[in-house]
Amino acid sequence: MRHAHTVEQVRAAEAELMAKLPEGTLMQRAATGLAVAISNFLGGTYGARVVLLIGSGDNGGDALYAGANLARRGAQVTAVLLSDRAHAGGLDALKVAGGRVGSTDDIPSTDVVVDGIVGIGGRPGLRAEALAAVRVAERYGVPIVAVDTPSGVDVDTGATPEPHVNAALTVTFGTHKICHFVDPAATACGPVHLVDIGLDLPSAEVQVLQAADIRALYPVPHGESDKYSRGVLGLMVGSTQYPGAAVIATAGALAGPVGMVRYVGPDAVANAVREAHPEVVGDGRVQAWAIGSGLGDELDIPRIRELLDADEPVVLDADGLKALDDSGDHVDVLITPHAGELSRLLGVDRATVEGERLKYARLAAETFDVTVLLKGATTVIASPDGEVRINTNATPWLATAGAGDVLAGLCGALLAGGLTPLDAASAGAYLHAAAANLASAGGPTTAITVAQSLPEATRRLLS
Ligand SMILES: NC(=O)C1=CN([C@@H]2O[C@H](COP(=O)(O)OP(=O)(O)OC[C@H]3O[C@@H](n4cnc5c(N)ncnc54)[C@H](OP(=O)(O)O)[C@@H]3O)[C@@H](O)[C@H]2O)[C@@H](O)CC1
Ligand SMILES: Nc1ncnc2c1ncn2[C@@H]1O[C@H](COP(=O)(O)OP(=O)(O)O)[C@@H](O)[C@H]1O
Ligand SMILES: [K+]
My answer on whether 192 and 248 are in the same domain is no
Cα separation of 267 and 265, whole Å?
A: 6
CATH number of the domain within which 266 lies: 3.40.1190.20
Ligand 1 pocket, residue 227 CB under 6 Å: no
Residue from 204, 215, 212, 140 nearest 177 by CA: 204
Whether 205 shows a pLDDT value over 90: the answer reads no
| Residue of 342, 350, 375 to test ligand 2 pocket, by largest number of atoms within 8 Å of CB | 375
3-state SS, residue 15: helix
CATH number of the domain within which 197 lies: 3.40.50.10260
Residue from 361, 441, 58, 414 nearest 182 by CA: 361
58 among annotated binding-site residues: yes
Cα separation of 61 and 59, whole Å?
A: 5
Ligand 2 pocket, residue 376 CB under 6 Å: yes
Whether 130 shows a pLDDT value over 80: the answer reads yes
My answer on whether 352 and 269 are in the same domain is yes
400-411, pLDDT tens digit by residue?
999 999 999 999
120 among annotated binding-site residues: yes
Ligand 2 pocket, residue 440 CB under 6 Å: no
Of 172, 205, 238, which residue constitutes the final position of a domain? 205
Whether 326 shows a pLDDT value over 90: the answer reads no
Sequential DSSP letters for 252-315: HHHTTT-SEEEE-S-HHHHHHHHHH-TT-B-S---SEEEE-TT-GGG--HHHHHHHHHSSS-EE
DSSP, res 191: S
339-355, pLDDT tens digit by residue?
999 999 999 999 999 99
CB 250 within 8 A of CB 196: no
368-390, pLDDT tens digit by residue?
999 999 999 999 999 999 999 99
Please tell me the residue having the least CA distance from ligand 2 atom 7.
377
262 among annotated binding-site residues: no
Give the pLDDT confidence score for residue 274 in this predicted structure: 98
Of 160, 175, 205, which residue constitutes the final position of a domain? 205
The amino acid sitting at 52 is L
For the chain, the domain total comes to 2
Of 177, 205, 233, which residue constitutes the final position of a domain? 205
My answer on whether 13 and 40 are in the same domain is yes
ipTM metric: 0.93
My answer on whether 113 and 224 are in the same domain is no
My answer on whether 292 and 388 are in the same domain is yes
Cα separation of 68 and 156, whole Å?
A: 30
My answer on whether 59 and 198 are in the same domain is yes
Sequential DSSP letters for 308-338: HHSSS-EEE-GGGGGG--SSS--TTEEE---
From the CA of 6, which ligand is nearest? 1
Name beta bridge partners: 193: 171
My answer on whether 169 and 220 are in the same domain is no
Cα separation of 271 and 273, whole Å?
A: 5
My answer on whether 13 and 76 are in the same domain is yes
pTM of the model: 0.94
DSSP, res 214: H
Q: Which residues crowd ion ligand 3, with CB under 5 Å?
A: 115, 119, 146-147, 151
CB 290 within 8 A of CB 411: yes
My answer on whether 296 and 422 are in the same domain is yes
Whether 204 shows a pLDDT value over 80: the answer reads yes
My answer on whether 187 and 41 are in the same domain is yes
My answer on whether 95 and 197 are in the same domain is yes
Give the pLDDT confidence score for residue 327 in this predicted structure: 82
Ligand 2 pocket, residue 379 CB under 6 Å: yes
Q: Give every CB contact of residue 448 below 8 A, 6+ residues apart in sequence.
A: 247, 248, 251, 402
Cα angle 123, 125, 127 (rounded to 5 degrees) comes to 100
Ligand 1 pocket, residue 62 CB under 6 Å: yes
My answer on whether 264 and 369 are in the same domain is yes
12-50, pLDDT tens digit by residue?
999 999 999 999 999 999 999 999 999 999 999 999 999
Domain hosting residue 142, numbered range: 2-205
Cα separation of 15 and 317, whole Å?
A: 45
CB 188 within 8 A of CB 154: no
Ligand 1 pocket, residue 171 CB under 6 Å: no
Please tell me the residue having the least CA distance from ligand 1 atom 3.
14
